[in-house]
Structure 1
Amino acid sequence: MSLPRLPLTRALRTLVADATGRPCGLGVLPRGPDGRAADFPYAILDSLPGEFSGPGFADWHADVSWSYQVTSVGERADQVEWLADRVRSALVDRVDGRWRYALAPPEMRVIDRELSVDGAGDPVDGTAGDTVTYIQRFTITVSPG
């Protein structure tokens, strides 16, 4: 049995929302309890293709590196940069050798977090309409645990 991805994805979405204090949708615009679209700024988490190392794909002991994109969405450039700063801090900042924010999905241990893209997105000159985005890509490596 290979490591399931969904528990990590859910834990990551929760981490982004809790650490930033802003809503985070999983592949879609986040919505409030009333079903209405979240107010700006908010984040959208998307799963990207993964990489596998170690033993064969179906081996429970293989390490897995899954990539994610976090898109910060707002009405102004300062909103998305503010949110992107908090996302970056939540995922890669360390304090005294430990991650600033714990990421503990069930049945796996996070062994690495890496920021690979920081700052791609819509232009901030108003040509993108009423929204501005800021894209960050992270790779999370896990082992069974």
Structure 2
Amino acid sequence: MSIKVRPLGDKDFFPWLGLFEGYSELSKSDLTDEKALRVWSWIIDKNHDLDGAVAVDDNGDFVGFTLYRGVPRTLSGDMGLFIDDLYVTPDASEAGAGRDLMAFATEYAKAHNYRKLQWITTADNAAAQKLYDTVGTRTSLVTYEAEV
């Protein structure tokens, strides 16, 4: 299986939605139509920071996606690219789609003068960590969150 990565476009909603449903299920997150439409509206809105890319196989099927956005890095006085989400189907993972999506995000960052890529994953996602350990450096940062 060969993989091609390209930016998400206006007409990609339904194939992307299938992947987003799989990602939500994997993340144990309840996905509603309202949430999916809101996220999609952010992706296609040229005035919104969220952007994304899709991995497509030889048959034209969507087999993975990544969503990312520029973020200010206050201590370095520059901008970075934060990868919010990266998901690939199991078969596409074996074909290197995750690596291809990371490479696409890296090139996107370079083209937009972002100085660093950052992302997080869950502590128990060994498959993602295996990939991420080859394309980046694990940091000592600990993530917190609070409901507001």
Q: TM-score, normalised by structure 1?
A: 0.35
Structure in which a larger fraction of residues adopt helix? 2
Q: TM-score, normalised by structure 2?
A: 0.34
Structure in which a larger fraction of residues adopt strand? 1
Greater Cα radius of gyration, structure 1 or 2: 1
